[in-house]
Amino acid sequence: MSRVDTAAWTTVAAFAFPLLLAAAMPIRALRPLTTALAPWAALPALLLAVGLRGRATVDWASAVFGMQLGAQGMVAQAFLLFTACLWLAAGLFARAYMAEDPHRPRFWLFFLATSSGNIGLVLARDVATFYLFYALMTFAAYGMVVHDRTEAALRAGRVYLVMALAGEMLLLMAFFLIAGADINVGLEDVPRVVAASAHRELLGALVLVGFGVKAGAILLHMWLPLAHPVAPTPASAVLSGAIIKAGLLGWLRFLPLGEVALPAHGAACVVAGASAAFYGVALGLTQRDPKTILAYSSISQMGFMTAAIGVGLSNPAVVPSVVAAIVFYATHHAVAKGALFLGTGVARATGSGWPGRLVTLGLLWPALDISGAPLSSGALAKISLKSVVEEASWGTTPLPWLLSVGAVASTVLMIHFLHRTIPRSTEPGAPGAGLWVPWASLLVLDLVLLARPPVTPEDAALLLHADKIWGAAWPVIVGVVVAAGVGVLRRRGARLRVRVPPGDLLYLVDAALPRLERAVLAAREAWISAPLRKGRALQASIARVSDRLLQAAEKVEVDLAAFRTIGLLFLFGILVLAAQLLSTSMGGR
């Protein structure tokens, strides 16, 4: 078999292997085999990403709308790499984490189906295939969110599903407008088609909002802090590390980046992204659950990438640099956030002594990554992002300054996360290899990402420049000082605790719903019920008048009938009288 054939079969296996395992999971006789293979379901995707990327495409013209798959291009290869790594690490972690769960077959079914959809949409090369896998991922992920069947999990699932369906409807509208009279469109043609469309402003808005739900964009983010704490830890890792990146990938695939400028959309993205960067931190600091804190951190970090999308929409000339910076930032965030989420599960299983200290160090490294500390992949990601901002002539705006202040805020939030997470149990204990090996693999991957970053050597060399080191260091230093100051105030008795329920804006919506319901009922009363009652009263009046008219008509008819009888009698009398007169007259002669 040639390498091209091997690559083609591996491309198919990347999404088909987890999907087949999910389909076989309900069969009791096959369950021991499928359960044993389930943790390794993402291995074909990882092999494709590491050794066979770009070597083959799969084109199934006989499928309903045609199906095109492949991992060509920097975007697909990078997304496939971190997506496969996260799903493999989460799967291996879940093998130990879910070992005592009586409902683990159900968990594996949804876990495998979601991974198939996630991997498939990365490999998709046409609109129909992308949407097929995107929908599979969306609806299968619901099963992971509600796995525990608690009241909180079911509520989070409802919110997730409602918001996901709203996003899906917007995306379907966009996809139909893009396809037009064609049955299907290749993804490489989509930016050009959108740019040439008479509805490009509408398409841009539909794509931004539709994928913004999955990406956790501000005002569309409410499902994230509800879903993360209730989902099992391995599911939370892929939700934040890989699944929300599907929204980012959708923006990269379906927006007219590099084809035409959409300045209004770009400005909206920059404002929304900058707002999310600080909003996520502010709300995260009010939380106590480590996974909820990480969810708000993801909202904040996705804000930086949203702002970068806005820069690209405003200036098509810098799109290649924008895309490269976004891809590296997404890769760094996926690996670091996946390690932090799995680390919360490891920390809960860890006691005192050297295991606790080791876990603390393991949590500290990706936390520094998220903060953008010097000589970390996070620092390199933020350097790339700032370079793009300066190249796009946004350097004279507050945006570069906001990126630095955002790093200060991220540092404070990561310190808060560590304070809530690091092991404090006085009982000795160490996590089993089934937990710490997958977690450690992501930490190693983060070091590999730093050693061999997917950027040019010139950009990588910037990491060692003195001004760049200081530019990355001072926000972290300021963040540590701020966090230390807050800690001192708390120890002195200052009441600085503010609690905002996870889902934040959703609770405002819940509070407004009764008033909205009353307003709707009042409007219905004023515009529908009252006119209907008036209509029914008018109908009754008309019926009464009709009855009276009918009765009058009947009376008239009776009267007329009587009048005709009298007339006939009167006429008969006249005729009799006339006959008598005539006979008298003739007798007189």
Q: 176-180, 375-379, 554-558 — which is least confidently predicted? A: 554-558
Supply the pLDDT for residue 422: 86
Q: 87-91, 98-102, 176-180, 502-506 — which is least confidently predicted? A: 502-506
Supply the pLDDT for residue 253: 96
pLDDT confidence bin for 556, thresholds 50/70/90 = very low
pLDDT digits 0-9 by tens, 362-414: 999 999 999 999 988 899 999 888 888 888 776 567 788 888 899 999 999 99
- Determine the average pLDDT of the residues in 126-154: 95
Q: How far apart are CA 491 and CA 507, in angstroms?
A: 31
Q: Kindly report the number of other CB atoms within 10 A of residue 361's CB atom.
A: 11
Q: Decide if pLDDT at 579 tops 80.
A: no
Supply the pLDDT for residue 562: 47
Supply the pLDDT for residue 569: 47
pLDDT digits 0-9 by tens, 190-206: 999 999 999 999 999 99
Supply the pLDDT for residue 284: 94
Q: Decide if pLDDT at 586 tops 50.
A: no
Q: How far apart are CA 339 and CA 360, in angstroms?
A: 12
Q: Decide if pLDDT at 243 tops 80.
A: yes
Distances from the Cα of 468 to the Cαs of 114, 122, 380, 408, 481, in angstroms? 40, 33, 9, 15, 20
Supply the pLDDT for residue 501: 82
Supply the pLDDT for residue 505: 82
Q: Decide if pLDDT at 132 tops 60.
A: yes
- Determine the average pLDDT of the residues in 340-359: 86
- Residue 380 corresponds to which tokens in the numbers above? 């390199």
Q: By the 8 A CB rule, do 187 and 253 touch? A: yes
Q: Decide if pLDDT at 103 tops 60.
A: yes
Buried b or exposed e, range 400-435, using 16+ CB within 10 angstroms: bebbbbbbbbbbbbbbbbbebbbbeeeeeebbeeeb
Supply the pLDDT for residue 209: 97
- Determine the average pLDDT of the residues in 2-10: 72
